[in-house]
Amino acid sequence: MPFKVLISDPLSDDGIQVLLQAEDVEVHRQSGLSEAELCSIIADFDALIVRSQTQVTKDLLSHATKLKVIGRAGVGVDNIALQAATELGIVVINAPDGNTISTAEHTMSMLMSLSRRIPQAYLKLKQNEWDRKSFVGVELNGKTLGIVGLGRIGAEVAKRAKGFNMQIVAFDPFLTQEKAEKLGIRYAGLETVLAEADFITVHTPLLKETKHLISHKQFELMKQGVHILNCARGGIIDEDALYHAIMNKKVAGAALDVFEIEPAVNHPLLELPEVIATPHLGASTVEAQENVAIDVSHEVLHILRDLPFKNAVNLPSVPSHIMKKVQPFFVLSENLGSFLAQLTIGAPQEIDIQYSGDLTELDVAPLTRNVIKGLLAYHLGYQVNYVNAPHLAKLRDITISEKKNTLNKGFTNLITVELKTNQETRTVSGTLLNGLGSRIVKVDEFSVDVVPKGHLIYICHQDKPGVIGRVGTLLGTHDVNIATMQVGRADVGGAAIMMLTIDKQARKEVLDHLGELEEIVNVTEIDL
Ligand SMILES: NC(=O)C1=CN([C@@H]2O[C@H](COP(=O)(O)OP(=O)(O)OC[C@H]3O[C@@H](n4cnc5c(N)ncnc54)[C@H](O)[C@@H]3O)[C@@H](O)[C@H]2O)C=CC1
Ligand SMILES: O=C(O)C(=O)COP(=O)(O)O
């Protein structure tokens, strides 16, 4: 069955070619659907691709029983119920780089239009009025541009504004003096930026912390006759406060590309001659739309095909050079989690993961996610994935600790997972051998050398002559072929283990017979 992808907002035809041409993908394009219409069809789809119009609500996601990925062809994901997606294990990815330049250029267009009142003059001329008195503008030259949010777009705006000989003062919690100097701009706190600027432009995301970042109190700090721009998100600037600041002449003009509620029609701000506006057009260029559609299509395809991807919004981002190094350990880490889930009895309470050898130099957080995924998926099934595994563990009060240990115990890399349940504590260690693949090298105190793959039988027994032979004979009699066998013991005659790899799953009664053999303490079948 091909993967079904729903594209619910207008996207560049050229940009989505990779999806249209993929043999394992069926693309459906339906823009302008109501939430009810989306709810009625979403269960059919493996992937959903949106821009800013489609509201991906919690309710919509509750109907999305097959959905694996939501692709946002753009930057802002404030139209997507991220927490709900995370809890349901749906990866949310965006295309953060493709529309930076277009949005920065749109901001510059707005800045120039605002300073010279071009839209107002244009409107009058279109009404056949030749008015040369009402539209005296101000120069940008030598003026101070305050930038709130100096990320990708803010930084591109700064570069361009410098070309107009503007002084730039910026606030961003991640901006350092050093970076500001490199960009040739001045770094200041928010209040200073607001107080010193002639033009203020916001370029933050819309978050809980940035909602109404600019409100009544902030307008009071500004210069008389300041100009305001918002080409980021409606809601960063409090629209009521802006209305009042324009009415009482604090603000001489405002340029808005975005509104708290879109589409914004019959909006009080649009009635003010000081306000110029566009209908959320920052990213609407041929180039930006093609870029974001290409980026998001590739990412969605990778996720559907279980291949590595990078721009996940609801996962910690891992730089690609680190991802490349930890990726070879993905299967091993998941298998170690799954191995322990099958070996232990009782309710998991604590997972302790230790990384040693080369792994101490890497960001191992993705591996920890995989261990948890492997561990929980054994009990919780397909609902667990890389995205929601830590969340599901937290919901079950399972504590997770991740440590790095410089003692490599003779292995160039080693992952040791300890699982504490309400009944026992068990440990397994695994390593990745250069060119030979992964191995389980220790279970509890027993050293072994087992490929973690396929059907395994784990047997605890007393180290006595004849036990191994009896196990082999019993399995042979029941037509169970042993592919590999490993034995491990702590002391001669003491507790010992046997790990067998068998070609096909053994029947339950065979395992029960095994458990009844003399000297056998218990038998566990493990599938990896
Ligand atoms: N009008 C349009 O069509 C478009 C609008 N956007 C909007 O622009 C926003 C910014 O986009 P990018 O520059 O690509 O994102 P970015 O993530 O590169 O930059 C955002 C910056 O805001 C900063 N920030 C966060 N909280 C802040 C605060 N309280 N005060 C000051 N700075 C704060 C962050 O540290 C970051 O550096 C997007 O989130 C999106 O909402 C993006 C593309 C098109
Ligand atoms: O990328 C963003 O955050 C945007 O706001 C662009 O929105 P759009 O894709 O044009 O609906």
> For residue range 257-305, what is the model confidence (pLDDT) as tens digits?
999 999 999 999 999 999 999 999 999 999 999 999 999 999 999 999 9
Give 151-210 pLDDT, tens digit per residue. Answer: 999 999 999 999 999 999 999 877 878 889 989 999 999 999 999 999 999 999 998 889
* The predicted structure's pLDDT at residue 83: 85
Average pLDDT over every residue of 207-225:
95
> Which residues fall within 8 angstroms of residue 141, CB to CB, at 6 or more apart?
164, 165, 166
pLDDT at 74 over 90: yes
- Rounded Cα distance, 43 and 157, in Å: 42
Domains of the chain in start order, with CATH, are 3-97+287-304 (3.40.50.720), 100-277 (3.40.50.720), 316-453 (3.30.1330.90), 454-528 (3.30.70.260)
pLDDT at 307 over 90: no
b/e per residue, 297-310, with b = 16+ CB within 10 A? Answer: bbbbbebbeeeebb
Question: Which ligand 2 atom is nearest residue 53's CA?
Answer: 11
Distances (CA, A) of 515 to 90, 119, 426, 510, 521: 42, 85, 20, 9, 7
Q: Which ligand minimizes its atom distance to the CA of 55?
A: 2
For ligand 2, atom 11, name the residue with the nearest CA. 52
Residue 79 beta carbon below 6 angstroms from any ligand 2 atom: no
Average pLDDT over every residue of 215-219:
97
Catalytic (active-site) positions: 233, 262, 280
CB atoms within 10 A of CB 183: 18
* The predicted structure's pLDDT at residue 395: 84
* The predicted structure's pLDDT at residue 306: 84
Question: Which ligand 2 atom is nearest residue 280's CA?
Answer: 10
Ligand 1 geometric centre to CA of 171 (Å):
12
Ligand 1: residues with CB < 6 A are 74-76, 96, 99-100, 103, 148-154, 171-174, 203-206, 209-210, 213, 231-233, 257-258, 280, 282-283
Ligand 2 geometric centre to CA of 294 (Å):
15
Residue 51 beta carbon below 6 angstroms from any ligand 2 atom: yes
What confidence tier does 310 reach under pLDDT thresholds 50, 70, 90?
A: confident
Provide the mean pLDDT of the chain: 93
CB atoms within 10 A of CB 339: 28
Average pLDDT over every residue of 385-409:
86
Q: Return the best residue to mutate from 9, 82, 103, 284 for the ligand 1 pocket (most ligand atoms within 8 A of CB).
A: 103
Ligand 1 geometric centre to CA of 184 (Å):
20
Complex ipTM value:
0.99
* The predicted structure's pLDDT at residue 215: 97
For ligand 2, atom 9, name the residue with the nearest CA. 51
* The predicted structure's pLDDT at residue 493: 84
The answer to whether the CB of 415 falls within 8 A of the CB of 354 is yes
Residue 99 beta carbon below 6 angstroms from any ligand 2 atom: yes
Average pLDDT over every residue of 431-439:
92
What confidence tier does 319 reach under pLDDT thresholds 50, 70, 90?
A: confident
* The predicted structure's pLDDT at residue 408: 65
The answer to whether the CB of 453 falls within 8 A of the CB of 482 is no
Distances (CA, A) of 369 to 71, 116, 393, 420, 483: 22, 54, 10, 17, 31
Average pLDDT over every residue of 241-269:
98
pLDDT at 385 over 90: no
Question: Which ligand 1 atom is nearest residue 210's CA?
Answer: 29
pLDDT at 382 over 90: no
> Which residues fall within 8 angstroms of residue 292, CB to CB, at 6 or more apart?
12, 15, 73, 74, 95, 98, 99, 283
Q: Which ligand minimizes its atom distance to the CA of 105?
A: 1
Residue 398 beta carbon below 6 angstroms from any ligand 2 atom: no
Nearest CA to 144 among 115, 119, 173?
Answer: 115
Distances (CA, A) of 454 to 236, 335, 338, 409, 475: 54, 11, 12, 27, 17
- Rounded Cα distance, 79 and 87, in Å: 17
Give 81-97 pLDDT, tens digit per residue. Answer: 988 998 888 999 999 99
User: CA quadruple 487, 488, 493, 495: dihedral positive or negative?
Assistant: negative
Q: Return the best residue to mutate from 108, 153, 174 for the ligand 1 pocket (most ligand atoms within 8 A of CB).
A: 153
For ligand 2, atom 5, name the residue with the nearest CA. 76
Helix, strand, or coil (residue 295): helix
Question: Which ligand 1 atom is nearest residue 209's CA?
Answer: 29
pTM: 0.76
Question: Which ligand 1 atom is nearest residue 102's CA?
Answer: 44
> Which residues fall within 8 angstroms of residue 402, CB to CB, at 6 or more apart?
353, 355, 364, 365, 368
pLDDT at 379 over 80: no
Give 108-127 pLDDT, tens digit per residue. Answer: 999 999 999 999 999 999 99
Question: Which ligand 1 atom is nearest residue 103's CA?
Answer: 44
Ligand 1 geometric centre to CA of 39 (Å):
30
What confidence tier does 317 reach under pLDDT thresholds 50, 70, 90?
A: low
